[in-house]
Amino acid sequence: MDGFIFDKTVTVVNKYVDHTTKEVSFNKTILNNCMWKKKIEKTTENSNIKILYYFSVTILSQAGYLPPNKYRLIPNNEIKNYWTLNPNNEDLIILGEYKDDIDESLYHDLLNNYDDIGVIQSVVDNTKVPYLKHWKVVCK
Protein backbone atom coordinates (compact mmCIF):
# COMPACT_ATOMS: atom_id res chain seq x y z
CA MET A 1 0.00 0.00 0.00
CA ASP A 2 1.99 2.97 -1.25
CA GLY A 3 1.63 6.18 0.73
CA PHE A 4 1.21 4.46 4.08
CA ILE A 5 4.14 5.43 6.29
CA PHE A 6 5.05 1.81 7.16
CA ASP A 7 4.59 0.39 3.67
CA LYS A 8 8.00 -1.19 3.05
CA THR A 9 9.29 -4.73 3.33
CA VAL A 10 12.90 -5.31 4.37
CA THR A 11 15.15 -8.33 4.68
CA VAL A 12 17.34 -8.54 7.77
CA VAL A 13 20.47 -10.63 7.19
CA ASN A 14 22.12 -11.81 10.41
CA LYS A 15 25.74 -12.94 10.11
CA TYR A 16 26.60 -15.65 12.66
CA VAL A 17 29.09 -18.42 13.37
CA ASP A 18 27.63 -21.92 13.07
CA HIS A 19 28.04 -23.61 16.47
CA THR A 20 28.92 -26.97 14.88
CA THR A 21 31.09 -26.15 11.86
CA LYS A 22 32.46 -22.82 13.19
CA GLU A 23 31.87 -21.40 9.70
CA VAL A 24 30.26 -18.05 8.98
CA SER A 25 26.59 -18.44 8.04
CA PHE A 26 23.71 -16.09 7.31
CA ASN A 27 20.11 -16.06 8.49
CA LYS A 28 17.50 -14.06 6.53
CA THR A 29 14.27 -12.70 7.97
CA ILE A 30 11.61 -10.88 5.94
CA LEU A 31 9.89 -8.06 7.86
CA ASN A 32 6.82 -6.16 6.67
CA ASN A 33 5.37 -2.85 7.84
CA CYS A 34 8.66 -0.95 7.89
CA MET A 35 9.65 2.59 6.93
CA TRP A 36 12.77 3.15 4.78
CA LYS A 37 14.34 6.56 4.19
CA LYS A 38 17.41 7.06 2.02
CA LYS A 39 19.55 9.97 3.16
CA ILE A 40 22.48 11.76 1.55
CA GLU A 41 25.08 13.69 3.51
CA LYS A 42 27.53 15.95 1.67
CA THR A 43 30.69 17.26 3.30
CA THR A 44 33.80 19.03 2.06
CA GLU A 45 37.20 17.60 2.92
CA ASN A 46 40.42 19.18 1.56
CA SER A 47 38.43 20.94 -1.20
CA ASN A 48 36.84 17.62 -2.20
CA ILE A 49 33.15 16.92 -1.88
CA LYS A 50 32.45 13.71 -0.01
CA ILE A 51 29.01 12.14 -0.40
CA LEU A 52 27.77 9.60 2.14
CA TYR A 53 24.63 7.57 1.52
CA TYR A 54 22.87 6.00 4.43
CA PHE A 55 19.46 4.62 5.32
CA SER A 56 17.17 5.12 8.24
CA VAL A 57 14.89 2.12 8.79
CA THR A 58 12.02 2.03 11.28
CA ILE A 59 10.82 -1.48 12.08
CA LEU A 60 7.57 -1.92 13.99
CA SER A 61 7.80 -4.42 16.85
CA GLN A 62 7.60 -7.92 15.37
CA ALA A 63 7.79 -11.50 16.61
CA GLY A 64 11.05 -13.42 16.69
CA TYR A 65 13.34 -10.58 17.75
CA LEU A 66 16.10 -11.35 20.25
CA PRO A 67 18.72 -8.95 21.59
CA PRO A 68 22.17 -9.66 20.06
CA ASN A 69 23.60 -11.22 23.24
CA LYS A 70 20.74 -13.77 23.36
CA TYR A 71 20.65 -14.35 19.59
CA ARG A 72 24.25 -15.56 19.45
CA LEU A 73 23.47 -18.29 22.02
CA ILE A 74 20.55 -19.98 20.27
CA PRO A 75 21.23 -23.41 18.76
CA ASN A 76 21.62 -23.87 15.00
CA ASN A 77 18.34 -25.78 14.66
CA GLU A 78 16.38 -22.82 16.11
CA ILE A 79 18.15 -19.88 14.48
CA LYS A 80 15.68 -19.60 11.57
CA ASN A 81 12.94 -18.72 14.09
CA TYR A 82 14.70 -15.58 15.33
CA TRP A 83 16.38 -12.39 14.16
CA THR A 84 18.34 -9.55 15.71
CA LEU A 85 19.66 -6.07 14.97
CA ASN A 86 23.37 -6.05 15.78
CA PRO A 87 25.48 -2.99 14.93
CA ASN A 88 28.66 -4.86 15.96
CA ASN A 89 28.27 -7.86 13.66
CA GLU A 90 28.11 -6.73 10.02
CA ASP A 91 24.38 -7.52 9.87
CA LEU A 92 22.58 -6.17 6.80
CA ILE A 93 19.22 -4.71 5.95
CA ILE A 94 18.03 -4.94 2.34
CA LEU A 95 15.06 -3.00 1.00
CA GLY A 96 12.48 -5.51 -0.24
CA GLU A 97 12.15 -9.25 0.04
CA TYR A 98 15.46 -10.94 -0.81
CA LYS A 99 14.74 -14.63 -1.46
CA ASP A 100 18.10 -16.15 -2.49
CA ASP A 101 20.33 -17.96 -0.02
CA ILE A 102 23.32 -15.92 1.10
CA ASP A 103 26.87 -17.19 1.55
CA GLU A 104 30.01 -15.17 2.29
CA SER A 105 30.79 -14.54 -1.39
CA LEU A 106 27.25 -13.31 -2.15
CA TYR A 107 27.26 -11.21 1.04
CA HIS A 108 30.26 -9.22 -0.25
CA ASP A 109 28.82 -9.09 -3.77
CA LEU A 110 25.56 -7.63 -2.43
CA LEU A 111 27.45 -4.95 -0.49
CA ASN A 112 29.41 -3.92 -3.57
CA ASN A 113 26.69 -4.13 -6.21
CA TYR A 114 23.26 -3.69 -4.63
CA ASP A 115 21.92 -0.15 -4.14
CA ASP A 116 19.30 -0.52 -1.43
CA ILE A 117 21.37 -2.31 1.19
CA GLY A 118 23.26 -1.24 4.29
CA VAL A 119 25.31 -2.58 7.17
CA ILE A 120 23.66 -1.85 10.52
CA GLN A 121 25.53 0.98 12.25
CA SER A 122 23.24 1.84 15.16
CA VAL A 123 20.00 0.68 16.74
CA VAL A 124 17.62 2.49 19.06
CA ASP A 125 15.16 0.19 20.84
CA ASN A 126 11.79 1.89 21.31
CA THR A 127 9.86 -1.31 22.08
CA LYS A 128 9.34 -0.47 25.75
CA VAL A 129 7.27 2.66 25.05
CA PRO A 130 3.47 2.47 25.44
CA TYR A 131 2.62 3.28 21.79
CA LEU A 132 4.18 2.63 18.39
CA LYS A 133 6.75 0.11 19.62
CA HIS A 134 9.62 0.01 17.12
CA TRP A 135 13.35 -0.12 16.42
CA LYS A 136 15.10 2.76 14.66
CA VAL A 137 18.09 1.49 12.66
CA VAL A 138 20.76 3.41 10.74
CA CYS A 139 22.59 1.53 7.98
CA LYS A 140 25.52 2.58 5.78
Which sign, positive or negative, has the C-alpha torsion 75, 81, 85, 90? positive
Residue spans per domain, the chain? 8-139
Mean pLDDT (the chain, rounded): 94
In the DSSP assignment, the letter for residue 70 is H
Instruction: Please calculate the CA angle 63-65-70 and round it to the nearest 5 degrees.
Output: 140
pTM of this prediction?
0.91
88-130 confidence digits (pLDDT tens): 989 999 999 999 999 999 999 999 999 899 999 999 999 999 9
Q: What pLDDT is recorded for position 47? A: 87
Q: What pLDDT is recorded for position 53? A: 86
Amino acid letter, residue 130: P
Flag whether pLDDT at 4 surpasses 80. Answer: no
Q: What pLDDT is recorded for position 55? A: 94
Phi, psi of 21 (to 5 degrees): -90, -15
SS3 (DSSP) at 112: helix
Proportion of the chain above pLDDT 90, given as a percent: 83
